[in-house]
Amino acid sequence: MADATPVLRTRGMTRVLPGEVPVTLVEDISLSIRQGEFAVIMGPSGSGKSSLLYLLGLLDRPTSGQLWLDGEDTSGFDEDRLASIRLEKLGFVFQFHFLLAEFSAMDNVMLPMRKLGRLTEAQQRDRAHGLLADLGLDGHQHKRPGQMSGGQRQRVAIARALANDPLVILADEPTGALDTKSSIVVREILHDLAHRQNRTIIAVTHDPDFASAADRQIHIVDGRLTDNDAWRAEH
């Protein structure tokens, strides 16, 4: 069960791309995500799902409004601070895996641990090996992404997202580029992380089977939360 601590909270968050004709990506987003919550973001193509996820993942900054992560107001943080928070507290899974082609699965998973520098080399190896094994990739640890299937690569990407034991996992259509069988495997893994490991997960998805297992469905239309979600954010 999720407890009541909001791990991510936004108030009136808006992102406008400047230009001759400014483009509003998302508008007036007030949301609260609790520790252990499994939330999916759904909405039509172009409605602002990825834009919202990028803001929640500190990959983009709002032009107005606020975002708190782990109780801290992130408004005044500079790029270095944001990068270190992303590395330490957030894990990302995208539709396309973005693994480094010349690195093995192990090395890809160890990369965020190396950057954080909290574990010894031996501990990093152990942890990466274990994470990959937990995701059903025992025996594949030394393969490069090009030697693996799409579903296996996405599992490596999930292991990489878990590398630094993040507070929140953010996923943008993690099953969107997979065949049906692999997509079921990846879906089950994310469900398991949410329900058995009590991970906080925010995932953009078009997949109703993926969404139906979530604790909460956040709907976005034309860059705004639908009334129901906006109401819930205040309660």
Ligand X SMILES: Nc1ncnc2c1ncn2[C@@H]1O[C@H](COP(=O)(O)OP(=O)(O)OP(=O)(O)O)[C@@H](O)[C@H]1O
Which residues of this chain interact with Mg ion, rule CB under 5 A? 50
The residue type at 132: L
Nearer to ligand X, 107 or 173 (CB): 173
Nearer to Mg ion, 91 or 174 (CB): 174
Q: List Cα–Cα distances, 63 to 3, 48, 147, 173, in angstroms.
A: 30, 15, 42, 25
Backbone conformation region of residue 221, classed left if phi is above 0, alpha if psi is from -120 to 50, else beta: beta
Q: Is 47 in the site for ligand X (CB under 6 A)?
A: yes
| Nearest approach, Cβ of residue 55 and ligand X (Å) | 10
What is the rounded CA–CA span in Å between residue 64 and residue 146? 42
Q: Is 46 in the site for ligand X (CB under 6 A)?
A: yes
Contact 202, 173 (CB under 8 A): no
What is the rounded CA–CA span in Å between residue 172 and residue 150? 16
Contact 155, 98 (CB under 8 A): no
Nearer to ligand X, 41 or 162 (CB): 41
Nearer to ligand X, 107 or 229 (CB): 229
Contact 62, 14 (CB under 8 A): yes
Site stretch for ligand X (CB under 6 A), options 32-40, 49-57, 116-124, 146-154: 49-57
Q: Closest Cα partner for 145 from 158, 156, 130, 134?
A: 156
| Nearest approach, Cβ of residue 35 and Mg ion (Å) | 26
- Binding residue for ligand X, selected from 9, 49, 187, 199, defined by CB under 6 A: 49
Work out what residue 25 binds among Mg ion, ligand X, none; the CB cut-off runs from 5 to 8 Å by kind.
Answer: ligand X
Nearer to ligand X, 20 or 79 (CB): 20
Q: Is 166 in the site for ligand X (CB under 6 A)?
A: no
Q: Is 163 in the site for ligand X (CB under 6 A)?
A: no
Which residues form the interface with ligand X (CB under 6 A)?
17, 23, 25, 43, 45-51
